[in-house]
Structure formats: structure tokens, C-alpha cells
Amino acid sequence: KNEVEQSPQNLTAQEGEFITINCSYSVGISALHWLQQHPGGGIVSLFMLSSGKKKHGRLIATINIQEKHSSLHITASHPRDSAVYICAVRKGDADKLIFGTGTRLQVFP
Amino acid sequence: GAGVSQSPSNKVTEKGKDVELRCDPISGHTALYWYRQSLGQGLEFLIYFQGNSAPDKSGLPSDRFSAERTGGSVSTLTIQRTQQEDSAVYLCASSLVAAYGYTFGSGTRLTVV
């Protein structure tokens, strides 16, 4: 079983819909990251969380440390949000990241 | 530089040849990571450099893979005697301190034919 699990693996939505992507992990972590990867392959860091909730524009990320669960929400989704969203955790005191397998999001106009 | 720079962006090589992939991290970032993303797979850790400490090589898949970081800055990932299963996107990331987050490069797409 992977230490970081994401769901769903694939997600399609109509423009304007509210999107939720989930991440569960089974190890103790010092931080959780949400990353965005566009088709060209480059990765952009969206959020780094160790507790609570963060918001940036239409993106909201939450984490529940007790339940070992995080969610990424996209409000008023747009076709340009189409990408692979990756959850990654920093385990304990380690510096390297452990990645989920990603959620492929397609938003249609 | 302003971001993490990787070169080449694409590399096609014949099976059995050696390849070198380069990563130029953000100036001043002491930590540098190499990750690999095979087709349809998630990212996997390869190797991590932190300052002058011995690198964490625990993710390297075989002894055909090696990496070095000269002068605490630029890093080169070398794959010897490439195999088709080495085809993947190789991503580099750097950080000042892991607690502050990471910056990723755009990756090198390696295709072994």
C-alpha cells in the first residue's frame, strides 16, 4: 500500500464546478504539499501545509493531522485548471518528499 | 538564477549509451533533489544533496545511476548503459530549507530507443 494515496485518479468537470481532490497518508509527516503539473511536465508548488487551511485565489487546501487527510478544493473551475494535481508529504524529519500518484483533472468549457 | 534550470529539456538516446542530465538550482539553495516520473507512474525519489553532507542515494534504482553536485551548486545525473525502462521525465528540485518548500525545474524527458 502506498504511503500517500490520492482520489480520484481522474476527474472531469464542467467549467464553474467546485472541485475536490483528496489525499490520505499513513505516516507521520512534518508537512504536506500540493503540486500542479501541466502537460509540459513542469511542476508548480501550490501549497505547503502543516495544519489548518490555506487559500490562494480560487484554490483552498485543508489538512486534518489527526485523520491524516488533506483536501484541495478549486472553486469556480476553469479549463486552465486542467492539470495533474499531486499530493506529497515530507515524512518526519526527512527532507525528501513522498508523492501520491496524482489526480488528472480536466475542466471542459 | 530565478528558477531551477534543467538541461536538456528533451533527450533521445540509443539503448546502451550513457547520458548526462544537468540541474542548475536556485542560487543559495543548499538542498537539491532528483526525482523520476515514469510514464503513468508517480514521482519517485532518486537522490538528495544537502550542503557538504554525504548525499542520500537511497532512491537510485541501480548502479548505472550516479549523481554529483559540484561546488554545492550545479548537479549532474548520469545514467550509464541506458535501458528502455530508464525512459522517464527526470525532475530536479531545490530548496533553501525543506521547511520553506521546494522549487521544481521543468524536467528532462529522456527517451531510450
Question: How crowded is residue B61: how many other Cβ atoms within 10 Å of its Cβ?
Answer: 12
Alpha-helix runs per DSSP H in B14-110: none
Sign of CA dihedral B99, B101, B105, B108: positive
Amino acid A71: pLDDT: 98
Amino acid A41: pLDDT: 66
Yes or no, beta carbons of B33 and A33 under 8 Å apart: no
φ and ψ at B70, to 5 degrees?
-90, 130
Amino acid B1: pLDDT: 52
φ and ψ at B13, to 5 degrees?
-135, 155
Taking 50 as the pLDDT cut, the residues of chain A under it are none
Average pLDDT, chain B: 92
Q: Which residue of chain B has the CA closest to A38?
A: B106
Query: Which of A43, A90, A99 is nearest residue B42 as measured by Cβ atoms?
Result: A99
pLDDT of B6 strictly over 90: yes
Whether cis (ω within 30° of 0) applies to the bond prior to A79 is: no
Q: What is the distance between the alpha carbons of residues B21 and B106, in angstroms, rounded to a whole number?
A: 12
pLDDT 10s digits, B44-101: 999 999 888 889 999 999 999 999 998 879 999 999 999 999 999 999 999 987 777 8
Query: Which of A41, A44, A96 is nearest residue B109 as measured by Cβ atoms?
Result: A41
Does residue B42 belong to the interface with chain A, where contact is any CB pair within 8 Å? yes
Yes or no, beta carbons of A95 and B89 under 8 Å apart: no
Question: How crowded is residue A71: how many other Cβ atoms within 10 Å of its Cβ?
Answer: 17
**Residues of chain B above pLDDT 90, percent:** 72
